[in-house]
Amino acid sequence: MIRTLLGLFYIAILFSCASERCDERSSWIGGEIVNPKLDHVLLFHNDIVVDTIPLQSNNFFLYESNDLKEGLYSFQHYEYQVFYVEPGDSLMLRVNTVDFDESLTFSGRGAPKNNLMIEMFLINEKEDQLLSSQYALPPEEFQAELDSLQDIRWELLTEFKEKHQPGPRFAKLMEANVDYDFFARKELYLTANASNYQRNEQLPVPASFTAHRMVDDYDDCDVHAHYSYYRYINRLFDNLAYEQYQDQGRFNRNSFRHNFLRMQLVDSLIDHEHLKNMMLRSNIGRYLINANNEEEERNMLDLFMNSSTNEDHKLEIQRLAENAMKLTPDHIIPNVALISYDQTSVDLHEVIRRPTVFYFWNTESSNHYKSIHERVASLKSDYPKFDFVGINTGADYRKWRKIIDKMGYFPSREYLFDNVEVGQEKLMVGSINKAIIIDGSGNILEGNSNLFYRDIEAILAGISQ
C-alpha cells in the first residue's frame, strides 16, 4: 500500500505540473523502473551527464530543472533510450528492464512526442528484421522495398502532426529521423554486398541509389544526437573508407587500414566539431577493443590525438590505448584482483598453471553463460593442453556462486572480478565473447580473440603443436 501511495504521489506531482499553474520554464522528468538493475538513472544531453538521479525505495525517480533547453535528451538505466523535452514538460516514463524498449511508455505533458519516437524506434527494428533477407535483391528492387516502407512512415508522421501540432523543431527532427533511417539502410545494403563481390568487381549501383549522400541539411545538434543520424553517418563512413581500398582487398571493418582511412575521412569531411569529436572517439574506441598490433595501435592513437579537439576524449583514449597495447602479443597479461568460489582474494597471475584461455560471462544473461560454457566444454575436450578460466563481470557474488552450483561448473576454474570496473578496463572486456590466450608464463599469445570464431581453433591447434 505504501509503495502504491508513493507512486501515486509522484504521478500527482508530474500531472499537476502539466496544468497552467506550473512555471512554464520548469521541466519535470520522472518515472518508474520496473525490475531495476541499478540504484540510479543517468540523464544525458549531447553525450554529457546532466545529473545522476537516485531511485527511491519504490523504484521511482524524479528530476526538476528550470534550465532544460528544448531538444533531445537521453536516460540510461543499464540500457539507454532518448526522449524529447520542451520547457514546461512534465514527463512520466515507465520501463521494465526485462523488456526495455518494448515496455517503455510516456505520460504527462510532452508524452505524445516521446511515444511517437519510441513507436518509430520499434517499427524500425521490425523493419530491419524484415529487410535482412532483402539484401540480395538488385539495387532497384531493394529501393522499391524501401520506398513502400518509407511511405508508411510518412503517413504515420503526417497523422501525428495533424493531430498534435508539434513545434517546428520537433517536426524537423522527426522528418530527419525518417530520412536517415532509410539512408542508413541503403548504406547497409552497400556494406552487406561489398563482401559478396570479388576484388575488382563492384556491385552495379545506379547513381540515384546514393543520391542521398548529397542531403545533409540537418545540421543542428538535435539531429546529430539522434540514433538514426548517428547510425547513418557511421555506415556512410564505413563505405567511404572501403571505397578507398576496394580494389586491394575485401571489406574489413575491424582492420587497421579500414579504420585509419575512416578516421582520416571523418577529420577531413566533417566540419561540426562536436560530431567530429564523437565519431573520432567512437571510431578509435571500437578499433582498440578489437586490435592486436601495438605498432598499428600507436599509429591510430597519433592520428586521433592530432584530429580530435576534445581534451577529455584525448585523456580517455590515451588510457584506453595504453591498456590495449598491454594486451598485444609478447606482453605479460595484466594482473588484476579476482575473487574465488570460496570468496578468497587472488591475483590473476596466481591462477595461471599452464597455457590458458580466459573468457568472460555475466550472471544477467542466462542464454549467453550457458552457450559460452558449452563452447568451452567443447574446446576443452579438443584442446586438453589448455586451461579454460571463466571470469564473471558481475558484482553479485551470491548469485554468481548459485549459478555455478546449479549449472555444475568447475568452481576451481571460475572467478569474479574483485573490482569490475578496473578488471574490465585492464583486460579490455568490450565483447561478451572475448577470449585472451596466454602461455604458461602469462605471455599473451592472442589478446583479442573470440571464443565463437572458427579461427580460435586454428590458433589453439597451432599453439598445441
Is the same domain home to 209 and 289? yes
The per-residue pLDDT for 464 is 74
Q: How many CA atoms lie within 13 A of 95 on its CB side?
A: 26
Instruction: Provide the whole-model pTM.
Output: 0.85
**Which residues, including other chains, have CB under 8 Å from residue 28's CB and lie 6 or more apart?**
13, 14, 17, 62, 63, 64, 89, 90, 91, 108
The per-residue pLDDT for 227 is 82
**Is residue 246 helix, strand or coil?**
coil
The per-residue pLDDT for 102 is 95
Asked whether residue 330 is domain-assigned, the answer is: no
- Asked if residue 379 lies in contact with residue 297, where contact means CB atoms within 8 angstroms, the answer is no
Q: Return the beta strands (E) in 366-443 as ranges.
A: 387-392, 414-417, 434-438
d(C-alpha 79, C-alpha 86), whole Å: 23
Is the same domain home to 341 and 454? yes
Grid cell in block for residue 57: 525505495
Is the same domain home to 232 and 301? yes
Domain-ending residue, one of 325, 347, 380 = 325
Note down the domain range covering 203.
115-325
Query: Alpha helix (H) ranges present in 132-272?
Result: 139-164, 168-194, 221-225, 227-243, 256-269
Span between the terminal Cα atoms of the chain, in Å: 67
- Asked if residue 301 lies in contact with residue 321, where contact means CB atoms within 8 angstroms, the answer is yes
Asked whether residue 332 is domain-assigned, the answer is: no
Asked whether residue 161 is domain-assigned, the answer is: yes
Domain-ending residue, one of 300, 325, 350 = 325
Cβ-count burial of 331 within 10 angstroms (0-12 exposed, 13-18 middle, 19+ buried)?
Answer: middle
Asked whether residue 331 is domain-assigned, the answer is: no
| Angle (CA) 182 188 193, round 5° | 135
CATH code, domain carrying 419 = 3.40.30.10
The per-residue pLDDT for 407 is 96
Quick one: DSSP state of residue 68? Answer: P
Is the same domain home to 172 and 316? yes
d(C-alpha 295, C-alpha 302), whole Å: 11
Q: Return the beta strands (E) in 337-382 as ranges.
A: 337-339, 345-347, 356-361
Is the same domain home to 277 and 165? yes
CATH code, domain carrying 51 = 2.60.40
The per-residue pLDDT for 8 is 43
The per-residue pLDDT for 384 is 94
Domain-ending residue, one of 268, 301, 325 = 325
Q: Which residues of the chain have pLDDT under 70?
A: 1-25, 195-202, 216-222, 465
Is the same domain home to 375 and 453? yes
Provide the number of structural domains found in the chain: 3
Q: How far is CA 354 from CA 66, 147, 212, 337, 450, in A?
A: 61, 58, 55, 19, 20
